[in-house]
Chain A
């Protein structure tokens, strides 16, 4: 049978790696699947941390308080100090009427409402306090008690639903990452299992001619680890250079660590179940 270029290249590659064509096929196909799995892992990691949903929300959240009219400088100072003293408050920004006008001038006809506009305070809350709605309610209650605050908008309903949504995203992503991680181990297990099956005769012969258990097992374990490393490296390259995603070296190193473990565990389990 005459072979075309892909066939010849495949044969050359298998000779170079000292594998037969079946072994090479298993190696390449499982590397490709690990590449996809790693990409999904990176994708989910990126989804729940890379887009900074949580961080963006937490850092931009603030309560808005409307101050009573005609507060003297001294009273204003007292109000701000009292608000800042409330546990969980990170910082307070006082916005004068003119600044508020500047802020909303794009949305409303300020000429008509200028005379009703009060001074406001933006109250930024410590991030660890926001995620628990009970904490927010407590802070809100304490601020409302401050003499000089006319009205306080904490948007706690929005906070509650947003925090819940972020929590679901986070949990969901973690679940998928865990599933994919287990999936990666199973893929390597399956690949090594099939490889052992395809070279069973060779393994048997090696045992008969006096090969030590390590001589037979170590290359198979290394092959599993190599599959993991190669797959995760390719996926990192793909995310970084083809999709221009914000995947950092730290993520890659975690992925590398995972792939080494997955490769090792997967091959070890396959060797165990095949009783090599």
Chain B
């Protein structure tokens, strides 16, 4: 699904990633781990096309996306879901409205949107909170809404950057179980975390240190 070849990323002259070679198969569940500043987030940003690599190649489903044009990025992003540590939800809006934003950009009909939102919320166990404003939800619930948003269009790839970083250990386990369930259903999941306690959920682990892969 994702292949990285001799990937480098420099911020001015400071190396963030150096010579990364990685292959993530379809249906895999990979956890990228390492201390702060190891380059975990940078790696996810490169896969998500938020940033361009300084050198090297990224293949997504066989297509080279390392030098993709700015106005084509959205076409690839529609095949990926992204979950952030800080949830990135609009707090003033309800769960439904937050999720419908992800459907609006694809011009889905209201009926189809409604069906998809309900199905995604069902999957994360939050259907009963569909019309509740996001600000009234707990941290764990907000993260589940964010996950529901990321899977609403059934993307084959799900990326998560420290998805449990703002949650207590119990909720973190819950969220990881949710990722595991999604992975069992066929979604490729790539998670960046510094929490070594969560590695048990991974099929494959990638360790990063100072921007380099370590065995």
Contacts and interface: CB of A to CB of B under 8 A. Distances in A.
Contacts of B153: 209-210
Contact of A212 (B92, B105, B149): B105
Contacts of A210: 74-75, 77-78, 102, 105-106, 153
Query: Sorted from nearest, which 10 A-B pairs have the closest CB atoms?
Result: A210-B78, A211-B105, A209-B102, A210-B77, A212-B74, A210-B74, A208-B82, A215-B105, A213-B71, A209-B105
B74 A205 contact: no
Interface string B162-191: 000000000000000000000000000000
A207 B78 CA distance: 10
25 contacts: A20-B92, A201-B88, A202-B90, A205-B101, A206-B101, A206-B105, A207-B74, A207-B77, A208-B48, A208-B77, A208-B88, A209-B77, A209-B78, A209-B102, A209-B153, A210-B77, A210-B105, A210-B153, A211-B74, A211-B105, A212-B74, A212-B105, A213-B70, A213-B71, A213-B74
A204 interface: yes
Interface of A is mostly: helix
B151 to A, nearest CB: 11
Given A204-B88, A205-B90, 11 more contacts: A20-B92, A207-B74, A208-B82, A209-B78, A209-B105, A209-B149, A210-B74, A212-B74, A213-B70, A213-B71, A215-B105
Interface residues of B, number: 18
Interface range for A: 10 to 19
Nearest to A211: B105
Nearest to B48: A208
B187 to A, nearest CB: 16
Interface string B95-117: 00000011001100000000000
Interface in A180-218: 201-202, 204-213, 215
A207 B71 CA distance: 11
A208 B92 CA distance: 19
Nearest to B76: A210
Nearest to A20: B92
A213 B74 CA distance: 8
Contacts of B106: 210
Contacts of A202: 90, 101
Interface string A206-250: 111111110100000000000000000000000000000000000
Interface in B135-157: 149, 153
A215 B106 CA distance: 9
A202 B89 CA distance: 8
Contacts of B74: 207, 210-213
